[in-house]
Structure 1
Amino acid sequence: MTNLTDASVAFLATDGFEDSELTSPWKAVTGAGASATMVSPKPDDITGKHGHVQTVDVPAADASADAFDALVLPGGVVNADHLRMDADSIAFARAFFEQHKPVGVICHGAWILIEAGVVDGRTITSYPSLATDLRNAGAAWVDQEVVVDHGLVSSRTPDDLPAFNTKVIEEIGEGIHRAQHA
């Protein structure tokens, strides 16, 4: 397993996230030695669709990609829909691409990347209902367990979490990806 000691990973979510798509990658990256930070446009705590409560560490308005080595975007329809309407969250996500840093996205989290304008020309997967949205934004959508495209790791559903977590850790361990772009 890749050792991520000294790596700092931001998780961006709000109420309605898919619980396992936050908790499983969080446990995976911290288990590999990274520190994890919860960023959200909502202050204090956020609650997943199945009841997991997560303390917010940094408001999205105050968060800077400069402080992190990677970003993870959990899914959940309500979560992703609210985040794609929040300018601070969109700018925060886009900055990781501008800085060539690894990004992991699962399920409906890809909506945020569409709003950030970073999927054009990229190969990505997501929950199947986003396929048309992603294609319309210029992405090559594929139905695979996990897809890695120059530091962008994507998966479809909680069933894909083992493969997703492995690839997220691998890409964070590799560091900057020059082909990762906004």
Structure 2
Amino acid sequence: MRLTGQKIAVLMESDFYEPEILYYQRRFAEEGAEVHFLTRLWGNDRLVFRGHEHRMPFEVTESFEDLDEYGLREFAAVIVPSGIVADRLRYTEDVQALPPAVSFLRRAFADPAIVKGIICHGMWLAAPIPSVIEGRRAVVHNNLLGDLRNMGGVYVDQDVVVDEDLVTARTGNHCHVFARTIIDQLTARTRRRLGDVV
């Protein structure tokens, strides 16, 4: 199991794409990783979200708002999934302030040791912080081409694109190659670290 001892965060909200989320839940665990689904709990102990296609319920009990810098650094990767998750997460009560989920993503981008995975419409969550995407190679859903270009990103017409600590994928239906690429990236990083130690 290549990811034993590593933690992966997947952001969650309603209107998630069920096959994608279920794939992450099982595939990363299959490699030995702990998979944590994080959301904004709004003062609740738990929230149940519904999927987009089949209205499947999915309970989340962990909040990204509770994570300090040390807690964030425990994660090897942070994933922004497809569907309408990113759009829901970028809500803010104060239009002068960044949405909490966007602030969390910006903190993750500030640490190159964390792999950032953004798939399909997940790029919406980065729209308020375009500097984290500016000049970087990425792919998005065709509907978000204008968004990516307005953020200064460099569109690459591939199903999955790796730009250092950023992994992007075209659609939720590419979640399998997206997850495999993230697993490969994390494995390579572990090998480099172990090579530095030896």
Q: Percent identity?
A: 29
Change beyond 3 A, Cα 1:47–1:172: farther
Aligned to 2:127: 114
Alignment of 1:18-37 (within 5 A): 18-37=17-36
Cα distance, 1:123 vs. partner? 0.6
Describe the SS at the equivalent of 1:135: helix
More relative contact order in 1 or in 2 (CA 8 Å, sep 6+)? 1
Aligned to 1:44: 47
Alignment of 1:51-130 (within 5 A): 51-64=55-68, 65-76=72-83, 78-86=84-92, 87-100=99-112, 101-117=114-130, 118-130=132-144
Q: Which runs of 5+ in 2 are unaligned?
A: 93-98, 193-198
Change beyond 3 A, Cα 1:84–1:141: farther
Number of residue equivalences = 175
Letter matched to residue 88 of structure 2: H
Deviations 1:146-170 (A, max 9, x none): 1011021111113322211110111
Aligned to 2:95: none
Q: TM-score, normalised by structure 2?
A: 0.81
Q: TM-score, normalised by structure 1?
A: 0.87
Q: Which range moves more in the overlay, 146-155 or 59-68?
A: 59-68
Describe the SS at the equivalent of 2:128: helix
Describe the SS at the equivalent of 1:115: coil
Contact 2:81 2:172 (C-alpha < 8 Å) held by counterparts: no
Aligned to 2:166: 152
User: Could you tell me how far apart the structure 2 residues matched to 1:168 and 1:148 are?
Assistant: 9
Deviations 1:60-90 (A, max 9, x none): 32134233121111111x3221112242111
Cα distance, 1:99 vs. partner? 1.1
